[in-house]
């Protein structure tokens, strides 16, 4: 089964794998595409910890990584809790950490997960299937105001008010249950605004906004990145790959804040940013893997202030 093609894999390896006997944490294991290359590079001296909130991803990656299983730990969990999860495993300091944000191709293309408007699925969009709130709940229960704020904030959708208004009108006639019902509502709103020709499908932004809301993606990101830097060892590296501007903005500003001299003096540690500008995939990679086209990578290295004990 094709699960996912890892993005900017060689750059990730070059940046975060700094020593063979290090401990590496992949916070977004997915199909294990980055993880398998990391473990190949460090096996058997090093150790890899893989984390994902999606049990299907873990099952697939477990199979894929089984030749290295004595040096691999896989955990089902949210990277929001990464510090706690590491403590439970007994690890305090990590050599390299990867966040490859968003969805895997497997999730996006799955006929049952409801992330894509290309197929007619139940409106779900939960990455963690044990959670209760799904996209169907949001669409059918949030107030009109909450919906338009959501579409504006997380989708940067210019017709958010009209779309929210039509959703509330339509759901009075009957529950909006499927991805194609929602996609049609959005497409009709665009058509009414005489936007019949589009570069990206009109429902893209609304679907992005719902996905972010259902999985609480942006609220947890800043804190998770800060915790990740906290658990890095000296000169340990963090690498973040994002696929839309809202995520990239959080990655950029969080690293910038952690790199400020005041932060370093106050907390005893911070980061040195290694990617002054975001790092992009090559043209060849984008040609071969369309998903890579929106990727941006940022990398930083942990530094301590003078005279601080480095644990």
Ligand X SMILES: C[S@@+](CC[C@H](N)C(=O)[O-])C[C@H]1O[C@@H](n2cnc3c(N)ncnc32)[C@H](O)[C@@H]1O
20 vs 131 by CB, closer to ligand X: 131
Strand partners, 47: 23
Q: In angstroms, give the least distance from the CB of 311 to ligand X.
A: 25
Task: Tell me how far apart the alpha carbons of residues 216 and 209 are, in angstroms, rounded to a whole number.
Answer: 10
- For residue 180, give Cα distances in angstroms to 113, 119, 121: 13, 7, 7
* Distance (Å, whole) CA 106 – CA 199: 24
Complex with ligand X: residue 78 or 254, whichever CB lies closer: 78
Residues found near ligand X in the complex (CB under 6 A): 4, 6, 28, 30-34, 51-54, 57, 78-80, 100, 102-104, 127, 220
Measured distance CA(30)–CA(177) in Å, rounded: 27
Q: b/e for 95-121, b at 16 or more Cβ within 10 A?
A: bbbbbbbbbbbbbebbeebbbbbeeeb
Smallest gap, in angstroms, from Cβ of residue 165 to ligand X?
A: 31
Which is nearer to ligand X, 176 or 292 (by Cβ)?
Answer: 292
Comparison of 84 and 191: residue with beta carbon closer to ligand X: 84
* Nearest distance, CB of residue 35 and ligand X, angstroms: 7
- Nearest approach, Cβ of 148 to ligand X (angstroms)? 25
Alpha-carbon distance 168 to 160, whole Å?
12
Which of residues 189 and 224 has its CB atom nearest to ligand X in the complex?
Answer: 224
Tokens of 133: 């709130």
- Least separation in angstroms between residue 280's CB and ligand X is 16
């Amino acid at each position: 089964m094709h699960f996912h093609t890892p993005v900017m894999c060689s750059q990730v390896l070059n940046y975060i794998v700094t020593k063979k006997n290090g401990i590496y944490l992949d916070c977004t294991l997915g199909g294990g595409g980055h993880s398998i290359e990391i473990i190949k590079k460090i096996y058997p001296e090093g150790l890899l910890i893989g984390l994902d909130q999606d049990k299907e991803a873990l099952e697939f990656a477990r199979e894929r990584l089984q030749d290295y299983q004595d040096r691999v730990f896989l955990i089902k969990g949210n990277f929001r809790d990464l510090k706690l999860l590491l403590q439970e495993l007994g690890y305090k300091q990590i050599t390299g950490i990867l966040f490859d944000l968003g969805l895997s191709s497997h999730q996006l293309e799955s006929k049952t997960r409801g992330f894509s408007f290309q197929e007619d699925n139940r409106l779900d969009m939960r990455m963690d299937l044990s959670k209760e709130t799904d996209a169907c709940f949001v669409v059918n229960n949030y107030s009109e105001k909450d919906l338009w704020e959501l579409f504006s904030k997380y989708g940067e959708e210019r017709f958010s008010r009209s779309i929210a208004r039509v959703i509330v009108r339509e759901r009075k006639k009957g529950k909006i249950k499927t991805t194609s019902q929602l996609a049609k509502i959005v497409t009709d709103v665009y058509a009414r605004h005489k936007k019949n020709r589009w570069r990206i499908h009109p429902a893209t932004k609304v679907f992005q906004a719902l996905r972010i809301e259902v999985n609480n993606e942006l609220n947890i990101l800043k804190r998770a990145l800060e915790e990740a830097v906290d658990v890095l060892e000296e000169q340990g590296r963090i690498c973040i790959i994002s696929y839309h501007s809202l995520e990239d903005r959080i990655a950029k500003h969080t690293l910038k804040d952690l790199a400020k001299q005041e932060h370093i003096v106050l907390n005893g540690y911070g980061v040195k940013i290694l990617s002054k500008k975001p790092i992009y995939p090559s043209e060849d990679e984008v040609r071969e893997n369309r998903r890579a086209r929106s990727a941006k990578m940022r990398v930083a290295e942990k530094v301590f202030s003078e005279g601080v004990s480095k644990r």
